[in-house]
């Protein structure tokens, strides 16, 4: 084993996180266009959008198998190519069935890319020595911010949805081409199993990721709804809650590796859980626009390093090979993004959105405490 990873390999890993964040952010602004073009109502759009999440969940275990057998690079190259081919199609397909099928492929490509990238990132971070996973994951957030801002600027300037997707594809290719050469080709050792159901500590790690991703899904899908419908914030300003969350998460992840190196994983996770839980309580109960923004920023800051720390543990545990453990953790975590908003909606329907958010605050605190208590020899 090499004592140090190549610095080009580290940069290539950051690029691999940046690309799916950038591409999926470029899809978000054209959802309304796709809805009109396919003639969908709100319920039908929700059903079609489910295809994206289902594609991701289905692809992650398969990506782990393929990465173990053939190395991360073929999976990452294929995933990147498929997502970049699907993005322009999402700007032109005009029937619900075609839109759903394209989203299924798009989601599968992103899920495969995310899974293989995390496998590579764990290996690169392990060889580097100092913590690196938070910094790697920060580039997904940076890609998301860049993609959303770039797409919004192009569409505001009058570009068509299709033209915007071509610009996004071109930018992604410019990032991917130099990076792909340093994506890992090495496969797992001969005789290593490439698929198994999660077990032991991997289930606990995946459960912590599920809760953290559920909180992120709550911010993505419900923060603007809460601000507008519960706190009567004007709809044009309701989206700023997620912006505050995303910006704070990005900054905290960029500083996360130094934080974990200085405070240690246990104290970082406990502090993160307290900050995220307190921020959600503040955003939910405090009156006024500014306290809500501050609360959502605290949620992003607190949640930022929970998932990277869990992926690091998944790479260090010995209960399962990392080529099986990381896809299992990724699948359990992303299930939180897929099912979390629906669970929040169910609780909100039975009680209120305020109660639902407060339950998420408790869940995040418990998950962070559980993550901090995990010990890997």
Q: Final residue of a domain: which of 148, 180, 212?
A: 180
Task: Please report the pLDDT score of residue 328 as a whole number.
Answer: 85
pLDDT of residue 6: 57
Domain assignment present for 267? yes
What is the 3-class SS of 45-113, one letter each residue? Answer: HHHHHHHHHHHHHHHHHHHHHHHHHHCHHHHHHHHHHHHHHHHHHHCCCCCHHHHHHHHHHHHHHHHHH
Residues 76 and 13 in one domain: yes
> What confidence score (pLDDT) does residue 74 get?
93
Residue 366, pLDDT score? 97
**So what's the pLDDT on residue 337?**
76
pLDDT at 3: 42
- Residues 66, 165 within the same domain: yes
State whether 70 and 162 are in the same domain.
yes
Q: Is residue 236 part of a domain?
A: yes
Residues 213 and 169 in one domain: no
Look up the CATH number of the domain holding residue 41: 1.20.1250.20
Is 59 domain-assigned? yes
If asked whether residues 77 and 215 sit together in one domain, one would say: no
The last residue of one of the domains, among 150, 180, 210, is 180
224 and 168, same structural domain?
no
Same domain, 105 and 52: yes
Name the DSSP class of 189.
P
- Look at residues 180, 214, 249 and tell me which one is the last residue of a structural domain: 180
1 in a structural domain: no
State the pTM of this model: 0.76
Query: Which pLDDT score, from 0 to 100, does residue 195 have?
Result: 53
| Residue 195 resides in a domain | no
Tokens of 360: 């998420």
Q: Is 193 a domain residue?
A: no
Q: For position 191, what pLDDT does the model report? A: 44
User: Which own/partner contact pairs does 258-261 have at CB distance under 8 Å and 24+ positions apart?
Assistant: 259/134, 259/305, 260/131, 260/134, 260/305, 260/309, 261/130, 261/131
Does 314 lie in the same domain as 175? no
- Cα–Cα–Cα angle for 71, 65, 184, nearest 5°? 15
Q: Are 216 and 342 members of one domain?
A: yes
The range of the structural domain enclosing residue 95 comes to 7-180
Do 84 and 220 have their domain in common?
A: no
Residue 185 domain-assigned (yes or no): no
What distance in Å separates the CA atoms of residue 287 and residue 285, rounded to the nearest whole number?
6
Residues 175 and 228 occupy one common structural domain: no
Of 218, 345, 235, the closest CA to residue 284 belongs to: 218
Question: Tens digit of pLDDT per residue, the chain (377 long)?
Answer: 444 445 888 999 999 999 998 998 888 778 778 888 888 876 677 678 778 888 888 888 888 888 888 888 999 999 999 999 999 999 999 899 999 999 999 999 998 998 899 888 888 888 877 778 888 888 988 998 888 788 878 887 888 889 999 999 999 999 999 999 989 887 554 444 545 667 789 999 999 999 998 898 788 767 877 888 888 887 667 768 877 888 898 899 889 888 988 999 999 999 999 999 999 999 999 888 999 999 999 999 999 999 989 988 888 888 888 778 888 888 888 888 777 777 887 888 788 889 999 999 999 999 999 999 998 76
Q: Is residue 121 part of a domain?
A: yes
pLDDT of residue 236: 60
Non-local CB neighbours of 85 within 8 Å, separated by 6+ positions: none
Question: How many domains does the structure of the chain reveal?
Answer: 2
Q: Is 272 found in the same domain as 146?
A: no
Burial class (CB in 10 A: 0-12, 13-18, 19+), 301: buried
Question: Taking the alpha carbons of 267, 336, 103, 118 in that order, is the dihedral positive or negative?
Answer: positive
């Amino acid at each position: 084993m090499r004592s140090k990873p190549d610095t080009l390999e580290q940069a290539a890993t950051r690029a691999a996180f940046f690309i799916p964040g950038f591409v999926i952010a470029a899809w978000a602004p054209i959802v309304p266009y796709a809805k009109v073009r396919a003639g969908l109502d709100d319920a039908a759009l929700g059903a079609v959008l489910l295809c994206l999440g289902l594609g991701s969940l289905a692809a992650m275990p398969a990506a782990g198998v393929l990465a173990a057998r053939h190395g991360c690079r073929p999976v990452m190259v294929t995933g990147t190519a498929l997502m970049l081919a699907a993005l322009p199609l999402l700007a032109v397909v005009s029937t619900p069935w075609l839109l759903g099928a394209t989203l299924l492929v798009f989601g599968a490509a992103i899920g495969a890319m995310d899974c293989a990238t995390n496998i590579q990132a764990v290996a690169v971070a392990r060889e580097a020595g100092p913590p690196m996973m938070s910094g790697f994951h920060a580039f997904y957030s940076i890609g998301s911010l860049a993609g959303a801002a770039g797409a919004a600027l192009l569409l505001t300037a009058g570009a068509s949805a299709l033209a915007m997707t071509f610009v996004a594809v071109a930018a992604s290719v410019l990032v991917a081409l130099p990076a792909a050469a340093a994506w890992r080709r090495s496969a797992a050792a001969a005789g290593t199993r490439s698929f198994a159901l999660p077990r032991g500590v991997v289930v606990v790690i995946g459960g912590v990721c599920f809760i953290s991703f559920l909180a992120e899904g709550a911010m993505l899908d419900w923060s603007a709804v809460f601000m507008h419908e519960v706190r009567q914030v004007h709809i044009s300003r309701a989206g700023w809650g997620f912006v505050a969350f995303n910006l704070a998460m990005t900054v905290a992840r960029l500083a996360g590796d130094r934080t974990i190196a200085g405070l240690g994983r246990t104290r970082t996770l406990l502090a993160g859980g307290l900050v995220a839980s307190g921020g959600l309580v503040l955003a939910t109960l405090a009156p006024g626009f500014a306290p809500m923004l501050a609360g959502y920023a605290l949620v992003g800051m607190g949640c930022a390093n929970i998932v990277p720390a869990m992926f690091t543990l998944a790479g260090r545990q010995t209960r399962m090979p990392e080529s099986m453990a990381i896809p299992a953790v990724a699948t359990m975590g992303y299930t939180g993004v897929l099912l979390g908003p629906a669970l929040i909606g169910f609780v909100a329907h039975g009680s209120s959105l305020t109660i639902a958010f407060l339950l998420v605050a408790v869940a995040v605190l418990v998950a962070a405490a559980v993550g901090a208590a995990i010990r890997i020899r």
